[in-house]
Structure 1
């Protein structure tokens, strides 16, 4: 068996799909979405095609090692997202070839379902009580929302507003994770975390940007709220210092950013040795979510799964838009069942993907500014 073609597709709202086809017609789908940088990831596939057209798609680990190490320059969001999409597609193809789900080939099933959570409140959190009640009606028992909108290094923020929003969501019967989104700088993060401590949050996410690990360790030593982080880390080597420092309680690798199923399985195993839980980051498309569920199916320390159903970015094309079997990615009583179909377990409407790709959607995140005109973290 040899790889005959590797195709990429820009699909709305902000996703990059990958399709790998073998000479015998067997194929697999993956997702290399890197929000706002799809064109750069697409460009990285030029070298991947040069290396792997004609390779055996079943030799996934060898492909991974060559793709990661063979170009001399390694890591980073763009290269690892491209590798992630290719890796997912290869697991999907191999699973289809042998008639097995990816989790079966990666060690076998450890759970039947995984608890899911959904987003409320948008980029600037608002009306969260009503939104939390709507998620409750959908069957969810947990939600995540942004803690604040833009926040300067030093200000007099109304922390009480953040507390009130959390309590409104909790009053609707929800467990709450709160995302600082890297918007909160050191001085404010320490204060805000202290205000939130009595609320019994599931976690606070990215209380400080991941390029400041020493600050994260300081905050971790000051509060008892579980700290989650990892969507902007792209390999086991990126996660290594955070695990070693003891600063994180939950890691959030993104299976479309961090080298795909193969690498995230290794990251999760490394985290297990530090008694750290895994809650994969996934505000993305159906293939990314399907890959996450394959990981959950065979990985004991996965505890929660983010999903983008109804997220504000998905206007016009929601999570299940390109799925021919949407039931496999639909939550049931707040849980996502582990798919049992071959490969990633999701069927993609190829005709719809090819039609959407003709428009080559160009998504960019918003740019925010402080009151004085300076740049603000989004």
Structure 2
């Protein structure tokens, strides 16, 4: 081959290689998690699940390029969430954002709808999150589903008839208060007292006195973060011996290792951590290898939320379509079901996940939780 021809040939090969590389576009999604403030523990938990999913997606070469996550600190506050969402959408240009906390999720939903950016919640459980439009999805059962699964079990199996609710004064707490008020009479029980607390409260001896005066069979706690630990500890210190129950917020490590939380019942979506299905098995084994402990439902939620993006984007790339929020929504509707941690999942028209729910009991002595039973929210 003549020198000039050889040089041209090498140049064409280099250009071809560059073209293939250029077409393998890296994908970036966003995450609005509390990375500072009293709820920063949740940011660590949520991020662990999302990051593990990214590792698996990249290791499997599921996408043409690499996937990464751009994090913004919501501090679990609506105003900070809006600031972070605007940055992710308008500066970073992401088509898909992981969200958390009911107040934050509701605050960013208008931006999500206006810009056709998919927002996926794996932590907030306010029932209003089912009403935020086609671009807002939930991979966690919402509070009304959890309440409706827990109440029949408590009334029929445990024979608890008199309930007291202690709830945080925000959209989540208000929703649980409303749902208990309408659900309990239908199964022959009653809500004898509803006690609201500010989101920033940390002293609960006065609330404990009112709980004792009401003399319930069981106390439902609707709170989250460091506050819920203080409620449980101070209630036990102030002589409340009745059973304590709650929703999926109690799945965090701080509650699992709190001595006073021994025996607490709480709901989550059903996940068999010992399952042999490939997705669940890989997730559990790799999480244990990395963190030296068992995962929780929250970790699985954000793994699934991130994996969902990978599956949808993979299909779009195979069709030669751009990975946009609008195309992600269309592909979700077309694909219908997805292999996730815990098994196959699907979505309702409102973007909420269809999933069985399990009731867990905190074992104590640092042993985490055991599954008491798996139920349907329709029971």
* Larger radius of gyration between Structure 1 and Structure 2: 2
| Larger RCO: 1 or 2 (CA < 8 Å, sep 6+) | 1
Q: Which has the higher helix share?
A: 2
Q: TM-score, normalised by structure 1?
A: 0.31
Q: Which has the higher strand share?
A: 2
Q: TM-score, normalised by structure 2?
A: 0.31
